[in-house]
Amino acid sequence: MSRAEPFHRALSTAQPLSVAELLALHGRASQAVLLLVVSLLCVLPVSGVGTVLSFLLFAVAWRWPRPGGTVMPGRLASFRLDAVWSGRCLRSLAWLHERAGQRLQRRWRLLRHPVAFGWWRVWIAVMAALIFLPLPFGNVLPGLSLVLLGLGWMYRDGLMLMLSLPAGLGALAFGWFSAGLIAETVMQAGQQLSSWL
């Protein structure tokens, strides 16, 4: 059975799912699965979700890469998506696992060496900080970076781990540009206001 099959079966029932049920469809508990599902939810354009989930991503970063026994607050685990968003998540996860099963393979083991754990913890925390910031579409690139990281860890594919870095660097550049633009706008507004007074 491919990893995508449970998601296709769940799609056929068209039932709203909780976050815990999305995790359970993967058949095993791990930090990589938690990272993948939470990051995917951050990518979805649902207002405020990324800000809340960023705290869970900080917790994942702190514990990375604990292999089992994922810890998730009960209220978040029981959070239920509506039928539309459940369907979108299931389709996305099915598509991700289908492509991953076809293309990903074990390689570049050095990127999963214990020496690299600290660097990945920092990376996850930095992406979580970017997701926390209330920037328009600011969740997309850091969320994508963490989705790639989660997939790479699950399938032990170092290439996917490496691909998470350009997406994250793009997120950093976008955050830097947006912060500069916001600061410039605030300064101009302040100057305009002072000229009126």
Query: Mind listing the pLDDT tens digit of every residue in the chain (197 residues)?
Result: 467 788 878 777 767 887 788 888 877 767 888 888 888 888 876 667 777 888 888 888 888 876 555 556 666 777 777 788 788 888 888 888 888 878 878 888 878 888 888 899 999 999 999 888 877 777 889 999 999 998 888 888 888 899 999 999 998 888 888 777 776 777 777 777 676 76
Angstrom distance (rounded) from CA 190 to CA 197: 11
Report residue 66 as tokens: 């604990």
Q: Please choose, from the candidates 67, 80, 2, 79, the residue with its C-alpha nearest in 3D space to the C-alpha of residue 33.
A: 67
Look up residue 163 and give its two tokens.
């691909």
Which single residue is written with the structure tokens 């979805």?
A: 44
Full domain range(s) for residue 151? 5-196
Tokens of 101: 């099963």
67 contacts 30 by C-beta, under 8 angstroms: yes
Amino acid at 183: A
Q: Whole-model pTM?
A: 0.81
C-alpha pair distances (Å), 144 with each of 57, 83, 195: 13, 23, 43
Q: How many domains does the chain fold into?
A: 1
Closest CA to 104 of 4, 8, 24: 4
- Taking alpha carbons only, the member of 52, 147, 57 closest to residue 95 is 147
Alpha-carbon distance 186 to 174, whole Å? 18
Q: What angle do CA 135, 131, 127 make, to 5 degrees?
A: 130
Structure tokens, 58: 């900080």
pLDDT at 1: 46
Residue holding tokens 């916001």? 182
The neighbour count for residue 93, using CB atoms within 10 Å, is 23
